[in-house]
């Protein structure tokens, strides 16, 4: 690819950063990228935007970033197929694109993406699914009835669910998913979860596909006084989720990709691309961490500002 204009040694480097939505994870990424830049003692201007899960906004931002000639773009793509034209445009303009978290389809990654810091959503869901299966087996439940609070307006969440359900049903074939409702934001999640508990009094567990969904689920279990009957398996660590996990009565496990880590990896990949170093492997694995009650306190200690 063509070395880039605005970049360069010594001067200020301009890097575009696109966040998928306004969940805490992206706050972590932001911090990770920033920290990495500071650690590198480079002067970096970040030009950032939030696409709010909207491909049209993403396309417009990508276009702006591309035409203003940034040195690299770090992005979480809204949609595997829908985001391709925007990524292609940047790539064709000679700007290295580094995905984190989500990205475009595999073909497009091969062609247009320099690196992808990936926490595989299938594995993300799967790890938690395995843990859920373990929990239920231990509790002697062989045919758990599960509810799901989803964030399926984002494609990545559908993948997470796929991973989760496959892992759980593989271990416990009697598993049934009796309800699946939207609740990406915590306030919708809490009332949806409550209603779900009304509609399905025999529920054994709830899977929260994102941070808000997780909080909503365990809050609802507390409100309905079903502690001990319904277990919650959640995604994305935040301070309050860590606190709840430490309590251990409802929330049994949380799977998380550290935003800060992802940010650091993405920044490193971006620097490599700017310097013209070919990465050995396009996909950079972001660590997927599973947290259980015992790990919660440790997380809180290492993340005092709450940024995941």
Partner 1 sequence: MTTTLDPTTAPTRPGGAPRDGAVGRVRDTFRRNTTLVNIVGLLVAIVLLYLYLMFNAVGFFTVANQSGLLRDAALIGIAATGMTLVIIAGEIDVSTGPAVALSSVIVAVAMTQWGLPALLAILLTLVVGAGWGALAGVLRARFLVPSFIATLGLWSVLRGLGQFGTDALPVPLPIDEPVMPFLTGTIVGVPTPAVVMIVAFLVFAFVARKTAFGRSVFAIGGNAAAARLAGIKVARVRIVLFAIMGMLGALSGVLLAARLGSGNAGAANGLEFDVIAAVVIGGTAMSGGRGSLVGTFLGVIFITLIGNGLVLLGVDSFLQSVVRGVIIVLAVLLNVTLSRKRGSLEEN
Q: Which of residues 225-254 bind partner 1 (CB under 8 A)?
A: 238-240, 243
Instruction: By CB under 8 A, tell whether 152 contacts partner 1.
Output: yes
Determine, following the binding rule CB under 8 A, whether residue 175 of this chain makes contact with partner 1. no
Tokens representing 147 are: 């509810």
Select from 4, 79, 101, 114 the one that contacts partner 1 (CB under 8 A): 79
Note whether 56 binds partner 1 by CB under 8 A: yes
Closest contact distance (angstroms) between CB of 248 and partner 1 is 15
Candidates 137, 142, 198, 277: give the one binding partner 1 (CB under 8 A).
198
Interface with partner 1 (CB under 8 A), residue total 80
Q: Is 63 in the site for partner 1 (CB under 8 A)?
A: yes
> With binding defined as CB under 8 A, does residue 23 bind partner 1?
yes
51 close to 61: Cβ distance less than 8 angstroms = yes
Interface with partner 1, residue 47, by CB under 8 A: yes
Cα gap 78→153, rounded to integer Å: 10
> Is there binding between residue 158 and partner 1 (CB under 8 A)?
yes
If the CB atoms of residues 171 and 224 are measured against partner 1, the closer one turns out to be 224
Cβ pair 42, 134 in contact under 8 A: no
**Nearest 5°: phi and psi at 151?**
-135, 50
Rounded to a whole number of angstroms, the minimum distance from the CB of residue 76 to partner 1 is: 12
Instruction: Report the nearest approach of partner 1 to the CB of residue 143 (Å).
Output: 19
250-279: contacts with partner 1 (CB under 8 A): none
Shorter beta-carbon distance to partner 1: residue 84 or 115? 84
7, 13, 19, 251: residue in contact with partner 1 (rule CB under 8 A): 19
**Which range touches partner 1 (CB under 8 A), out of 25-33, 34-42, 135-143, 250-258?**
25-33
CB atoms within 10 A of CB 204: 21
Start-to-end Cα distance in the chain: 34
Q: Where do the H-state alpha helices sit in the chain?
A: 24-39, 55-67, 84-92, 106-112, 121-139, 155-171, 186-199, 211-223, 239-247, 259-275, 293-302
Residue 176 binds partner 1, judged by CB under 8 A? no
DSSP state letters, 225-263: T-TTT-EEEEES--HHHHHHHHH-SSEEEEEEE-HHHHH
Note whether 48 binds partner 1 by CB under 8 A: yes
Rounded CA gap, 67 and 303, in Å?
37
Task: Out of 34, 35, 42, 54, point to the residue binding partner 1 (CB under 8 A).
Answer: 54
| Distance, CA of 289 to chain centre | 12
Is 297 among the residues that bind partner 1 (CB under 8 A)? no
**137 or 153, CB closer to partner 1?**
153
HEC profile for 32-49? HHHHHHHHCCCCEEEEEE
């Amino acid at each position: 690819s063509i070395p880039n204009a605005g970049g360069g040694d010594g001067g200020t480097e301009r890097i575009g950063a696109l966040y998928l939505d306004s969940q805490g994870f992206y706050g972590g990424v932001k911090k990770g990228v920033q920290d990495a830049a500071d650690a590198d003692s480079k002067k970096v201007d970040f030009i950032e935007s939030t696409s709010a899960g909207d491909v049209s906004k993403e396309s417009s931002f990508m276009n702006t970033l591309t035409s203003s000639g940034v040195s690299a773009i770090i992005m979480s793509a809204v949609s595997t197929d829908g985001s391709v034209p925007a990524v292609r445009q940047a790539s064709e303009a000679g700007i290295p694109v580094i995905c984190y978290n989500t990205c475009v389809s595999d073909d497009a990654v091969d062609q247009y993406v320099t690196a992808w810091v990936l926490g595989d959503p299938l594995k993300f869901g799967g790890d938690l699914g395995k843990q859920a299966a373990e929990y239920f087996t231990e509790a002697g439940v062989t045919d758990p009835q599960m509810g799901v609070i989803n964030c399926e307006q984002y494609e990545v969440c559908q993948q997470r669910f796929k991973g989760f359900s496959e892992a759980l049903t593989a271990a416990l074939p009697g598993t049934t998913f009796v309800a699946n409702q939207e609740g990406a934001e915590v306030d919708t999640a809490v009332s949806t979860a409550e209603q779900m508990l009304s509609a399905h009094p025999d529920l054994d567990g709830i899977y929260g596909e994102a941070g808000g969904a997780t909080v909503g689920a365990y809050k609802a279990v507390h409100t309905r006084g079903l502690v001990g009957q319904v277990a919650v398996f959640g995604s994305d660590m935040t301070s309050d989720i860590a606190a709840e996990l430490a309590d251990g009565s409802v929330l049994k496990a949380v799977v998380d990709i550290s935003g800060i880590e992802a940010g650091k990896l993405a920044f490193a990949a971006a620097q490599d691309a700017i310097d013209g170093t070919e990465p050995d492997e396009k996909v950079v694995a972001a660590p997927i961490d599973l947290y259980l009650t015992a790990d919660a306190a440790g997380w809180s200690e290492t993340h005092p500002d709450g940024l995941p």
